[in-house]
Amino acid sequence: MDGLRQRFERLLEQRNLATEALEVLEAKTGVDKRYLAAGAATLLSLYLLFGYGASLLCNLIGFVYPAYASIKAIESPSKEDDTVWLTYWVVYSLFGLAEFFSDLLLSWFPFYYAGKCAFLLFCMIPGPWNGAHMLYHRVIRPLFLKHHEAVDSVVTDLSGRALDVAAGITRDAKVSVTHLQKDK
């Protein structure tokens, strides 16, 4: 439990939007930012468990902070933070795709959105316990390396067909316009 408390303390010492907001609240209320953060986390957890709109809240948590951090990563000179957030978005996208097909089944599970939110937070954790990094290197990357040539071939074939269809539609539209102009 002390290890978790120490990580929580280190997290609160980082400089980011959340800790700055906590410091402002601490200055205005006189309540220690540790208690404010613990209270906010408790309320958020209870809302995810029992509140209306838990799906929206969970999706906001999984999207808003990562989008903000991704913009900061793009603007920083370091490549490492770009890789961290690109990895998160790959895992988030694949999770969203899997969730799309299993949503009818999963939404019946009690506390599904609390679990989903915990999973997304796990994927955002900085450092060696970053879930997105672990999932990418243990599951996604090996599958990608095994199948990327076949996927590239299918994508190339489909994009060629799409270009052919678009060219045909454009050609047919030009012919139709030409016939309409001749009829006038």
Q: Which phi and psi angles does 31 have, rounded to 5°?
A: -90, 135
Examine the domain organization and report whether 158 and 130 are in the same domain.
Answer: yes
This prediction's pTM:
0.67
Examine the domain organization and report whether 163 and 99 are in the same domain.
Answer: yes
Mean pLDDT throughout 100-114?
80
Q: What is the pLDDT of residue 140?
A: 95
Q: How many domains does the chain have?
A: 2
Identify the CA nearest to 61 among candidates 140, 114, 132: 114
Examine the domain organization and report whether 28 and 64 are in the same domain.
Answer: no
Structural domain of 28 = 1-50
Examine the domain organization and report whether 81 and 61 are in the same domain.
Answer: yes
Examine the domain organization and report whether 165 and 77 are in the same domain.
Answer: yes
Examine the domain organization and report whether 44 and 60 are in the same domain.
Answer: no
Examine the domain organization and report whether 90 and 153 are in the same domain.
Answer: yes
pLDDT in tens, 29-82: 888 888 888 888 888 777 777 777 778 888 888 999 899 999 999 999 999 889
Residue entry with tokens 């270009």: 163
Alpha helix (H) residue ranges in 76-140: 80-106, 112-124, 131-135
Mean pLDDT throughout 9-25?
76
